[in-house]
Amino acid sequence: MRSLRIRLAFLFFAITLAAIGVLYLYVVPQLESRLRDEKLSQLTIVAQQTAPQIAAGSGAVNTTRSRACHCWRAIVHAPMWNNG
């Protein structure tokens, strides 16, 4: 290393990189856990809302395909599946 300026710049870069790394390792697992819990909560709500419809449809002899597709779409297109 040629000068004090380069050494200080490198030290600043290293400290900044370490701080970002520690912050990333601290924050990301918590966010992932919260997201997973929120998705499970939403899935539980959707399952509770659609379970009676599915049970009613599966118990009938003349269950139509459109009703089964409607229930399936309600589950698949629930807000929890939107990543955007």
pLDDT digits (tens, 9 = 90+) for 42-67: 988 888 888 888 777 765 545 566 66
Q: What is the mean pLDDT of the chain?
A: 81
Q: Where are the alpha helices (DSSP H) in 1-84?
A: 4-59, 65-76
pLDDT surpassing 70 at residue 34:
yes
What's the sign of the alpha-carbon dihedral 51, 56, 60, 63? negative
Average pLDDT over residues 28-34: 90
The angle that helices 4-59 and 65-76 make with each other, rounded to 10 degrees, is: 160
Which token pair is 25?
Answer: 């390792």
Look up the pTM and report it: 0.46
Distance between CA atoms of residues 81 and 84, nearest Å: 9
